[in-house]
Amino acid sequence: MSLENMTAALGGADHPGADGPVPAEAPGRVRLRAFADNRLAVAGLAVVIALTLFAFIGPLLYHTDQVHTRLAAETLRPGPGHPLGTDNVGYDQLGRLMVGGQTTLEVAFGAAAVAVLLGVVWGATAGYLGGFADGLMMRVVDALLAIPALFLLIFLATVFKPSVLMLIIVVGVTAWLVPARLVRGEALSLRNREYVQAARTMGVRPPTIIFRHIVTNSIGTILVNATFQVADAILLVAALSFLGLGISPPATNWGAMLSDGLNYTYSGYWWLTYPPGIAIVLTVVAFNLIGDGLRDAFGLDTRRG
């Protein structure tokens, strides 16, 4: 027996026609509680918050010089004065981790924002318009999806001068395809909802309809995908930096630190590879856990209409 039947059977006001008692809890609170109950998701959130604080607040408490190299102090082991040692040009590794974290997180959030923004606008419009326009727009998406993101990234990164902003744009521009697909799916189903029809009857203009009715009711899908976008962006930036296409020093990010550190693997300088590596893994896993938690929390809710 379907869940709708059961909900109807239980006589709540969700059942069409009821003039019965009103549901006890707002869906927002239901979702919040569902998320909070998910220990892994909360742990993920805690990790993200901790790492963000580490990267942005850390340097205020732990001052290191991240601009001038000190070749005399290169590749020192962790010890007094340098809890995580120094890297190959004498920067303090712990401080570097913080500064690198700033860039990594900035690019990740920024790229995710660009990807989601672009994807939502494209997908919602395509789904709402339907027909030929939808077909055309989604063929563009399909075509771009066929190109491996990494190649596209490498190409763009070699053409344009790398900077934080550039990285954000470049990564965002390759990542928007997935949210576009997702939101287009939502739009296709939402455009037949009666409140959308009602808006059309009222003469509300399509861009307004798309924003006010379609996007707002797809917020669950969008949010979930956004968290996964952040995780993916971190990996993409790390990959780019790995290939030497990241930002030039003294700026750095975790991916670059990892890539540089790998040159010294056989020298046993573990503090050059493990800290950035672990940081990347932690962040990516944390965001994935948050995404899963959000998806479950929203999934719980869509059942009840």
Partner 1 sequence: MTAAIPAAGASGPVLRVDGLDVDIRLRRSVVHAVRDVSLEVAAGETVGIVGESGCGKSTLGLALAGLLPSSAVTRGSIRVGDREVTGVGERELRAIRGAEVGIVFQDPMTSLNPTQRIGAQVGEALRLHRGASREAARAAAADMLDLVGLPRPREQLDRFPHELSGGMRQRAVIAAALICEPKVLIADEPTTALDVTTQAQILELFDRLQQELGMATLLITHDMGVVAGRASRVFVMYAGREAETGPTAEVFGSAKHRYTAALLDSILRMETPRHAALYTIPGRPPDLTADLAGCPFAPRCPAASPICGTTFPPAAGADGPGAAGGHWWHCHHPVSEPRPAPHATEPSR
Partner 2 sequence: MTAAQILADTTAGPPTPPLVDLAAVTKHYRGSGLLGRADAPVQAVSGVSLAVEAGQTVGIVGESGCGKSTLGRLVVGLEKPTEGEVRLRGTDRAAMTRAQRRAARYEIQMMFQDPFAALNPRMTLARIIEEPLRARGGSSRPERRARVGQLAEEVGLAASQLDRYPRELSGGQRQRVGLARALATSPALVVADEPVSALDVSVRSQILNLMAQLQAEHQLAYLMVSHDLTVIHYFADHIAVMYLGQIVESGAPEVLFRSPAHHYTSALISAVPEPSVAGGRARAAIRGELPSATAPPSGCRFRTRCPAAQALCAEQQPPLRAFGPGHEAACHFPLIEPVPA
**For partner 2, which residue of 208, 248, 263, 302 counts as binding (CB under 8 A)?**
208
Task: Indicate the residue among 70 and 193 with the shorter CB distance to partner 2.
Answer: 193
247 binds partner 2, rule: CB under 8 A: no
- N-to-C CA span, the chain: 17
Residue 10's binding partner, choosing from partner 2, partner 1, none, with beta-carbon cut-off 5 to 8 A by kind?
A: partner 1
**For partner 2, which residue of 3, 136, 198, 278 counts as binding (CB under 8 A)?**
198
Q: How far apart are CA 29 and CA 13, in angstroms?
A: 18
205 binds partner 2, rule: CB under 8 A: yes
Helices (H), 57-211: 58-61, 93-129, 131-146, 149-159, 164-175, 177-190, 194-201, 206-209
Task: Indicate the residue among 27 and 90 with the shorter CB distance to partner 2.
Answer: 27
CB of 196 to partner 2, least distance (A): 8
DSSP assignments along 193-262, one per residue: SHHHHHHHHTT--HHHHIIIIIIGGGHHHHHHHHHHHHHHHHHHHHHHHHTT-SPPTT---HHHHHHHHH
**For partner 2, which residue of 123, 213, 228, 275 counts as binding (CB under 8 A)?**
213
Q: How far apart are CA 67 and CA 243, in angstroms?
A: 23
Residues near partner 1, by CB under 8 A = 1-2, 4-6, 8-13, 15-21, 24-25
202 binds partner 2, rule: CB under 8 A: yes
Nearest residue to 241 via CA among 145, 136, 162: 162
Task: Indicate the residue among 74 and 200 with the shorter CB distance to partner 2.
Answer: 200
CB of 230 to partner 1, least distance (A): 32
Binding site for partner 2 (CB under 8 A): 13-14, 16-20, 22-23, 26-27, 193-195, 197-205, 208, 212-213, 216-217, 305
